[in-house]
Amino acid sequence: MAELKCKIKQMLEKNELGLQDQFVAYISQDENLSQLSMLLRALRLQPAGLRAEISEPAHAECGAQNQAELLHDSASADAGLADAAVRLTGQQSLLHVSENASVHEHASAEGGLGHAMQAEEQQPDATALQANSADAESAGSGAAHPELSPAELNKNSALSPTHPGESSAEDEAEKNRRAEITDVFNKSSFNDPKFQADNARAGQAYQSRLSIISNHAADDVQFKAESFKFPYAHFYFDAATQQIHGMPEKAEELEFSFQYCMHQETRTASCKINVIPDPRSLWKVIEPEGGQLFPKAHADFKSIDLDDYKIVAASRRGRSHEHGGAFRDDDFRICNIPGSQWSVIAVADGAGSAEYSREGSRIAVDIVQNEFQRYLNEYTIAVINEDIRNWQIGAQDERTNAIAKKLNQQFFNVYYEIYRSIIAQIEQHAQQLGVAGKAFATTLLAAVVCRHNGKTFISAFSVGDGAISVYGQGHARLMNAADGGEYAGQTKFLDRSIHQELGARIKIGCFADVEAVMLMTDGISDPLFETDAGLSNPQKWQALHQQIESLLQSENAASALLDWMHFFTPGHHDDRTMAVLCSKNSA
């Protein structure tokens, strides 16, 4: 066993097989060497020996005088040994004597060979000769031996020459045995598995399984739940779900340790969780520089509570404006015409690239409210209400079509006056400041709504992106022209160029079972609907209504709506404005 153990240690030190350093260090431990020796013995593998080819010096024969010199003159013996070409290999355990070597039958010649073998045994690899060359060692022991004939020597001595065929077969078998052992030793089970946990985000609940990213079977690894050690108490490993749970508070690289069982052996490992920052925490809130024209509050909200419905509106500065220290560009107005069921709603989005667009949006919504308050007097309301009573919802009869055409013309006249007034006031401000009118560029979405005897009448006007929708019973009807492009951010603004298409921007309708009329700027519509196709999807409108319905029915509906509008959607950080007229009994 000791010889086998020594043999293995020498092989590991040389590492001619190119084994991994980690494996060599592991096997070289004394306890592991002993176990490996037992394994090899159990597998009945013979330890690999050494083969030496010894070529005698070029002398035909050794006379008695040379024999005496060889026995008494150590210098001559050393010279004779130096002349011999000795080649050691690990391929077989035989000593091969070259065919051209001559062995003298005289006992003194055997003594000379024994002397040479004793010198050979002083070399570091001599232990490899002990297992398979007992006869050769006996020849070098100095003891008396009977004379042997050349035939007997070839028959019995370990120095007998090998046949090429036999040597090749033995070499091939030895290679196969070595490959088998190497394959066993290089199995991944000798190496520790490598683990990986999912990334975490600061401020958000975390859970993750430990994944094995090395070439190991997951079923071979059993985690010890009680052994997990985290730097924070709120992190733990759940044995039932085999997951890590926690609540990271800040961005960092969090390292933890744990134990696991593998092949009936307990091992220790460590792993890291990369906690990335919450994108919201990267946004700064910066106040605009003082002394600027047309300052505007960062947020505004308002609600009007009526008998069977309410109007709720809110507007807030977007993260992009907060981060850049800019004012809010959006604006809104809501009002109810006293003593009637008529309401006016308007939202506007000033162009972010226009220097005074925040004032342009204010001008637009103010004029909408003022013009409708002037137009919807007691007499006008009475006439329009009569037309609405005669409007047959869903019918295409002549009378209904005539009513629709008449009301459309009436509201066209009002919107035309609104349009002219906005353009005139913007151009007046621009002239006073010495800038172009586009410095006040803004969108405008406006609607006048009447709730009367179970019917909801609406007349809407729109320039630019955003949305006006009549929602009820899971269905939605868009009431604005599609000015949005294929991608978010493409739109039109209220200017003189829309004069010829003003009529196409006005829509009217009369509906039953309406739960809400919603107006919003693109800061709301873009992240929720993304495209014009999304705006036509009733499921998206239903999802939106479900999100805000309980907020609208709450006591502090306006402030609740304002808080909801602070939702985070990557890539959408514009100002957000929304106004909703909703039934009180829709909840």
Q: Is residue 378's pLDDT more than 80? A: yes
pLDDT recorded at residue 81: 36
What confidence category does residue 70 fall into, taking pLDDT thresholds of 50, 70 and 90?
Answer: very low
Residues 198 and 336 in one domain: no
Residues 449 and 477 in one domain: yes
CATH number for 520? 3.60.40.10
CB 133 within 8 A of CB 101: no
Residues 347 and 444 in one domain: yes
pLDDT recorded at residue 143: 42
Q: Which residues lie closer than 8 Å to 220 by C-beta, 6 or more apart?
A: 189, 262, 263
Question: For residue 332, is it within any domain?
Answer: yes
Higher per-residue pLDDT: 281 or 234: 234
440: tokens are: 């006040």
Residues 193 and 173 in one domain: no
217: tokens are: 């079977």
**Residue in this structure with the two tokens 């906690």, named with its chain if needed:** 275
Task: Tell me the CA distances in angstroms from 28 to 7, 10, 37, 268, 326, one per residue in order.
Answer: 12, 10, 12, 21, 70
pLDDT recorded at residue 155: 44
Give the residues across from 450 on adjacent strands. 342, 457
Tell me the C-alpha distance between 366 and 356, whole Å: 16
Residues 582 and 473 in one domain: yes
pLDDT recorded at residue 585: 67
Average pLDDT over residues 358-387: 98
pLDDT recorded at residue 37: 78
Question: For residue 27, is it within any domain?
Answer: no
Residues 310 and 239 in one domain: no
For residue 442, what is the DSSP state? B
Question: For residue 393, is it within any domain?
Answer: yes
Q: What is the rounded average pLDDT for all residues in the chain?
A: 81
Q: Is residue 139's pLDDT more than 90? A: no
Nearest to 303 by CA among 578, 52, 571: 578
Average pLDDT over residues 158-185: 62
Question: For residue 13, is it within any domain?
Answer: no
Our count of domains for the chain comes to 3
| Half-sphere exposure for 41 (CA within 13 Å, toward CB) | 11
Neighbours of 431 (CB within 10 A): 11
Residues 152 and 79 in one domain: yes
396: tokens are: 């295409």
pLDDT recorded at residue 83: 42
pLDDT recorded at residue 538: 96
Q: Which range is most confident: 121-125, 165-169, 195-199?
A: 195-199
Higher per-residue pLDDT: 302 or 34: 302
What confidence category does residue 184 fall into, taking pLDDT thresholds of 50, 70 and 90?
Answer: low
CB 587 within 8 A of CB 545: no
Residues 166 and 193 in one domain: no
CA geometry: angle 209, 212, 213, nearest 5 deg: 125
pLDDT recorded at residue 25: 80
Give the residues across from 195 on adjacent strands. 212
Domain hosting 335: range is 299-586
Question: For residue 23, is it within any domain?
Answer: no
Higher per-residue pLDDT: 402 or 58: 402
One-letter identity of residue 277 = P
Question: For residue 19, is it within any domain?
Answer: no
Of 132, 160, 186, the one marking the end of a domain is 186
pLDDT recorded at residue 179: 66
Tell me the C-alpha distance between 512 and 455, whole Å: 5
What confidence category does residue 69 fall into, taking pLDDT thresholds of 50, 70 and 90?
Answer: very low
What confidence category does residue 490 fall into, taking pLDDT thresholds of 50, 70 and 90?
Answer: low
Nearest to 195 by CA among 142, 268, 99, 301: 268
Residues 179 and 193 in one domain: no
Q: What percent of the chain has pLDDT over 90?
A: 61
Q: Is residue 180's pLDDT more than 70? A: no
Give the residues across from 211 on adjacent strands. 196
For residue 188, what is the DSSP state? G
pLDDT recorded at residue 20: 79
Q: Is residue 78's pLDDT more than 50? A: no
pLDDT recorded at residue 182: 60
Tell me the C-alpha distance between 382 and 420, whole Å: 27
- The residue length of the chain stands at 587
505 sits in the region (left: phi over 0; alpha: psi -120 to 50; else beta) called: alpha
285: tokens are: 């809130």
For residue 90, what is the DSSP state? S
CATH number for 267? 2.60.40.10
Residues 473 and 406 in one domain: yes
Higher per-residue pLDDT: 417 or 176: 417
Tell me the C-alpha distance between 455 and 388, whole Å: 8
Of 249, 281, 313, the one marking the end of a domain is 281
CA geometry: angle 375, 378, 382, nearest 5 deg: 100
One-letter identity of residue 114 = G
18-27, 123-132, 162-171, 252-261: lowest mean pLDDT where? 123-132
pLDDT recorded at residue 362: 99
Question: For residue 18, is it within any domain?
Answer: no
What confidence category does residue 63 fall into, taking pLDDT thresholds of 50, 70 and 90?
Answer: very low
Residues 320 and 253 in one domain: no
**In whole angstroms, what separates CA 119 from the centre of its chain?**
68
- What is the separation, in whole angstroms, between the first and last Cα of the chain? 87
Residues 72 and 139 in one domain: yes
Segment 387-435, tens digit of pLDDT: 999 999 988 899 999 999 999 999 999 999 999 999 999 999 999 999 9
Of 163, 186, 209, the one marking the end of a domain is 186
Question: For residue 357, is it within any domain?
Answer: yes
Segment 202-225, tens digit of pLDDT: 999 999 999 999 999 999 999 999
Q: Is residue 351's pLDDT more than 90? A: yes
pLDDT recorded at residue 74: 40
Compute the chain's Rg from CA coordinates. 48
pLDDT recorded at residue 273: 98
CB 463 within 8 A of CB 512: no
